[in-house]
């Protein structure tokens, strides 16, 4: 079928999901173009279509049994679906319900996640220190730093350690200076216990923040709120840890 034919002849079987192409501004995107623009494979797009994640098909123009043109706004919707599925681990059923009930909120959540991540990266980069500087400032042996990197506790790049890495290194140096050393059985592997305990807490915290802030305040304000809470949260965790430690020691003494 030539370009001229498609502009003058209505699509056959017009009805739900099919319209005359003259009713739209442009022909739309072929499946291969849609896949390339969205970064989602054609097979996955077809699956989304079958599951109803791209609406009821009202914007799709079918010119033959094997040829269809899709609305350009499918590109952003596909990217959103992919991110909700891969980054927030949402099942397709829940994604469909979310997009049908409140698509703007879903977009607000993703936008807020992006802004929080960008803000966190910028803050960490601002305090980055080179490996040479860290070795000069802190008295952690090279083998200890290397093992912490292997465990993923420290995550340096070619420019050295970020601000959180430096804070961890400083804290471990103070632990060792206070007597927490290998001779008493304290090793870098003890850091894994804290990381494993914090991971589910952080996952829940992120969920709560996004649920309460996304769509309620603009992204800039939300990022500012989260940033302002960083140090108070550290103080809160430290104080609660001290209280729990004291309570546990009392129970241990009482049971003796």
Q: Alpha-carbon torsion 68, 70, 75, 76, what sign? A: negative
Nearest-angstrom CA–CA distance, 138 and 13: 74
Angstrom distances, CA of residue 5 to CA of 25, 175, 191 = 16, 78, 69
- pLDDT level of residue 3 (50, 70, 90 thresholds): very low
Which has more confidence, 137 or 7? 137
> Does the pLDDT value for residue 13 go beyond 70?
no
Domain at 3-101: CATH code: 1.10.1660.10
Q: Which range is least confidently modeled, 12-26, 35-49, 89-103, 241-255?
A: 12-26
Query: What are the sequence ranges of the domains in the chain?
Result: 3-101, 105-255
The rounded mean pLDDT for the chain is 84
What's the confidence (pLDDT) of residue 26? Answer: 53
Question: 222-231: per-residue pLDDT in tens?
Answer: 888 888 998 9
Q: What is the pTM of this model?
A: 0.63
Angstrom distances, CA of residue 36 to CA of 30, 32, 39, 40, 76 = 10, 6, 5, 7, 12
Question: 41-84: per-residue pLDDT in tens?
Answer: 999 999 999 999 998 878 899 888 888 999 999 999 999 999 88
Q: What would the mean pLDDT of 203-221 be, rounded to a whole number?
A: 82
| pLDDT cut 90: percent of the chain above it | 48
Which has more confidence, 179 or 5? 179
């Amino acid at each position: 079928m030539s370009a001229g034919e498609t502009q003058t002849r209505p699509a056959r079987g017009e009805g739900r999901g099919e319209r005359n192409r003259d009713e739209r501004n442009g022909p739309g995107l072929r499946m291969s173009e849609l896949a390339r623009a969205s970064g989602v494979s054609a097979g996955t797009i077809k699956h989304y279509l079958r599951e109803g994640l791209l609406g009821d098909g009202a914007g799709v123009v079918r010119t033959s049994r094997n040829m269809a043109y899709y609305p350009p706004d499918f590109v952003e919707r596909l990217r959103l679906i992919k991110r909700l599925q891969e980054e927030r681990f949402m099942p397709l059923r829940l994604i469909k319900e979310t997009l049908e009930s409140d698509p703007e909120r879903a977009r607000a959540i993703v936008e807020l996640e992006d802004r929080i991540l960008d803000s966190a990266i910028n803050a960490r980069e601002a305090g980055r220190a080179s490996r040479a500087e860290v070795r000069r400032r802190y008295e952690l042996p090279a083998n200890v730093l290397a093992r912490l990197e292997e465990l993923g506790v420290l995550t340096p790049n070619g420019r050295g350690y970020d601000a959180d890495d430096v804070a961890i290194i400083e804290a471990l140096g103070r632990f060792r200076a206070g007597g927490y050393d290998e001779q008493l059985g304290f090793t870098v592997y003890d850091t894994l216990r804290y990381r494993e305990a914090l991971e589910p807490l952080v996952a829940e915290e992120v969920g709560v923040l996004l649920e309460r802030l996304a769509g309620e305040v603009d992204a800039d304000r939300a990022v500012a709120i989260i940033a302002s809470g960083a140090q108070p949260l550290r103080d809160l965790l430290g104080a609660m840890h001290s209280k729990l430690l004291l309570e546990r020691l009392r129970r241990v003494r009482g049971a003796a």
